[in-house]
A and B are shown apart, each in its own frame.
Chain A
Amino acid sequence: MQQSIIETRTGDAPAGEAVVELVDLRKSYGTGPSAVQILDGVNFEVRRGEFVCVVGPSGSGKTTLLKCIAGLLKPSGGRTDFEGQEVTEPPAKLAVVFQDYSRSLLPWMTVRANIALPLRNKFPKQERQARIDEALESVGLAGKGHLYPWQMSGGMQQRAAIARGLAYQPDVLLMDEPFAAVDAQTRIDLEDLVLEVRDRYDTTVLFVTHDIDEAVYLADRVIVLSGAPTTVSHNITVDLPHPRHQVDTKREPRFAELRAFVFEQIQAAKSNTVRNRADA
């Protein structure tokens, strides 16, 4: 029934080259009978310019998945490709915005120095300064670079972390539940900020979240993960018009429809997880 309303795309690959490609990605922790299978053959790709959100029930290995894509974890099987190359170390044209800004910005450096750190030794000073200024300006922190992270609110710190990612000018920006720790109003501001900078920098974004509203609101495509062990349960094109608007977009019947569909899939995945655990 649902399939008739929601087009799920697994076979038909539309235009745009794949920048990130996951091929039968597997990851387990431990060995022997005590091994825990987290990812059990995950397949999807992200094409250049896309904004893809990955949602799944908690404990579905979202962070594990992201770390494999970022080259921070070695898969146990299958592989992830970045711009056609198998990922064996963190790719140079990929930047990560981590979940916990308070632990990813270095408290002994000003915001400016934090943003500058990955650029040092890679670009001449003048270009570095220009990139930092532009990044700070585009996240609304112009003139705030001299502050230390702990002199800022949580929302400002996450803006600074996003600015660090932007100044790196990656082809792909990977975001791991970046707004999980900020309050609701800040979260709304930051969602729109991400959409804005994505247009400005023309970046491909892979955004992991557990928030269904956020996923549908932001994404061009939503990847729904099943419960553990994790596979892709649905791959949904979000055919909502751009630019998105917090009130208008969320008022559209189509938004409600997509949101309800994703919600049901995640509920189903959760009960599967419970069943799988009971079997084990």
Chain B
Amino acid sequence: MNRALPLLRTAALRLWLPVLLAIVWWYASAGSQNIYFPPLSTILETFAADWLGSRAATDLVPSLGKFVLGFLISAAGGIALGTWLGLSPAAREAAEPVVQFLRSLPPPVLLPIGLLLFGITGTMNVAIIVMGAIWPTVLNTADGIRSLDGQVADMSRSYRLTFAQRLFSVALPNAAPQVFAGLRTTLQLSIILIVVSEMVAAASGVGYYVLNSQQTFAVAQTWAGTLVLGLIGYLSTLVFLAVEKRVLNWQHGMRRAAEGA
């Protein structure tokens, strides 16, 4: 009971504004005849019919699958590539101009090339995510690996830690706060890219559904699809933050200790 109270308070603090906005939207749009602004009730009916119904399997699950797969490949590949660049000055020198060039490309620009290479396939959607979203993680990981304190490096050497220990117990945890900052941007880019790539080149998926409904003047569907995308973004960020909090628990504790001192 005592522990539930603060939890309720936090929930209330976070919920009042979204709830208020929903209520305002509900009443402002009630009975609306404007075809571009259908009543919220209509949007929600469409939402329930499509996204809690048949389209969940045909469009939502494939979109989510491609998004998650693209993000995971970007995350793992970005950390691996970034670690390599962080450890090897020679690799860094050689790769720097290429990496800077690739990350400077606005990711949607990759779409035509992705289409040429992979056609209108799921592989193309995933490849577009990886090509566009991997770079923040690569660069942040490389920076984090390089930023190892000199005394920590001396400690690792004098206690004769193995390469694996230096990598997994020292360098990567040391880089973790920066890696997560990179992963967060990678996550946001992954969502943008799955939607954009589905809009341009797919025959199903949430992005396809939104653009297609707009082009066929199925306005309630356009709104419902947009809500789905917002929810995907919001929920994936929540999951990401929960993982980050777990992995970087030591850093939060350290910060709290420093503030308390």
Contacts and interface: CB of A to CB of B under 8 A. Distances in A.
In this complex, the interface size class of chain B, counting residues with CB under 8 Å from chain A, is 20 to 34
Interface stretch (B83-91, B152-160, B180-188): B152-160
Given A106-B173, A109-B169, A150-B254, A121 B162 contact: yes
Chain A interface, DSSP helix/strand/loop, else mixed = loop
B154 A98 contact: yes
Contact of B158 (A70, A100, A106): A70
Nearest to A153: B261
A271 to B, nearest CB: 32
Contact of B169 (A104, A117, A150, A151): A117
Interface residues of A, number: 27
B159 A168 contact: yes
B169 A92 contact: no
A65 to B, nearest CB: 14
Interface of B: 149, 151-152, 154-155, 157-162, 165, 169-170, 173-174, 176, 250-251, 253-254, 257-258
Contacts of B176: 108
Given A72-B157, A148-B253, A168-B159, A106 B169 contact: yes
Given A72-B154, A96-B155, A108-B176, A150 B165 contact: no
A120 B159 CA distance: 11
Contacts of B258: 150
A164 B257 CA distance: 23
Given A104-B155, A108-B176, A118-B160, 6 more contacts: A90-B159, A94-B158, A100-B151, A103-B149, A106-B174, A117-B169
A106 B170 contact: yes
B151 A71 contact: no
Contacts of B157: 71-72, 90
B152 A151 contact: no
Contacts of A98: 151, 154-155
Given A108-B173, A120-B165, A148-B250, A103 B160 contact: no
Nearest to B173: A108
